[in-house]
Homo-oligomer: A and B are copies of this chain.
């Protein structure tokens, strides 16, 4: 917070000076008017500092920009650790600024230097931006001397059908989830963090989500995924502290105290065979999911939020197999987004589906256990394939200025 509080909304150039023509024009008169507090007053700001990272239990925004980065360091363990620590300090400060609607710190008005901020979000509101950070499993190899600090819960994911994973859409040393109600604001984050980290980190893969596909309880209406069904009816409400502590936040059970208050993130890029799905009869679609398409009510009857009677729902229906009542109480917090990225060259199919995002306190007991169950019987498996995968340890929140992501791990 050493940077001046320059609001994106308050930016104004002080034009109007007379200029000589020719190539030197434009050097002299760009500047900002600082209007502190303009962004904060707009009412669409999510606090960055806190016990937990924002973007997990906070309300789901409309848009996603997700990126995984690889670290490119090649020095000694000490040098590498220092480079990572510096990167995360810089990233944290930039993230704190961007979530509050401010520009990337570092200077944006020197005509003889590249601006620190790339500028496409100037003038836009903060749009409820949250930036959530995690470490991939590969971080805990030998490069940073952190092998002994790897949490047991961060165990590599086993093979989990139906999957045909593309290595270029999997893994990564670091992950950034940027969610906002404006896609420019979300993309601006992953672009600018790549720019800030360019001597230390490169983007490995990225994913835009263009419509939220899972509610976490804060919506008036449950959103629909690209299969046309409501998704998230029985999700964990992010404001239910008891359920969040029980299923999502890492607690005293962890073998690595630096993860207390954090959570484990599983991402799966789930391609839907939507042409095949669209040819399926309405009754079959409903039997695959276990709900009515239009109302979202369980096939056992009632309304959307009524308790399903699983004995009156087909045995292979997705909601029956995935229900916590049928999985020893296991639940995950989902936060997925629909995506579409054009056409799959090999098949001519639309490359569209669900970018699945789930948070939990132990993936071994939660996502992996649930997915193993689904792999054995889920009727939905005929229509989907997992083509990308990520597993990340998201540390607890940043408590205030001067603190940075995972500072306890890297100290």
A residues within 8 Å of B by Cβ? 11-27, 29-32, 63, 108-115, 117-123, 168, 182-184, 187, 191, 194-195, 198, 202-203, 205-208, 210-211, 221, 224-229, 274-275, 278-283, 285-287, 292-297, 299-303, 311-315, 338, 340-343, 345, 348, 350, 352
Contacts and interface: CB of A to CB of B under 8 A. Distances in A.
Given A12-B294, A13-B293, A228-B119, A282 B191 contact: no
Given A26-B299, A119-B293, 8 more contacts: A16-B301, A21-B314, A25-B314, A114-B279, A119-B224, A123-B224, A183-B210, A207-B342
A286 to B, nearest CB: 4
Contacts of A23: 287, 314
A282 B113 contact: yes
Contacts of A274: 118, 191
A6 to B, nearest CB: 11
Contact of A203 (B17, B228, B350): B350
Nearest to A301: B16
A15 B113 CA distance: 63
A115 B210 contact: no
A302 B29 CA distance: 11
Contacts of A120: 211, 224-228, 338
A122 B287 CA distance: 19
Nearest to A207: B342
B110 A282 contact: yes
A187 B274 CA distance: 13
Interface centre among A225, A226, A229, A315 (most CB of B within 10 A): A226
Contacts of A286: 26, 30, 111
Nearest to A194: B350
A114 B280 contact: yes
B295 A118 contact: no
B282 A111 contact: yes
A1 B385 CA distance: 39
B295 A13 contact: yes
B25 A114 contact: no
Nearest to A316: B23
A210 B207 contact: no
7 contacts: A12-B294, A13-B293, A22-B314, A30-B295, A111-B281, A187-B211, A206-B350
A11 B294 contact: yes
A314 B227 CA distance: 53
A31 B293 CA distance: 10
Given A203-B350, A228-B118, A340-B208, A15 B295 contact: yes
Contact of A294 (B30, B191, B195): B30
A26 B210 contact: no
A329 B86 CA distance: 54
Given A340-B187, A341-B342, A282 B194 contact: no
Contact of A221 (B17, B21, B123): B123
Given A195-B278, A279-B114, A16 B302 contact: yes
B301 A26 contact: no
A274 B188 CA distance: 12
Contacts of A352: 187, 191
Nearest to A294: B13
A220 to B, nearest CB: 10
Given A16-B297, A278-B195, A295-B12, A342 B205 contact: yes
Contacts of A15: 292, 295, 297, 301-303
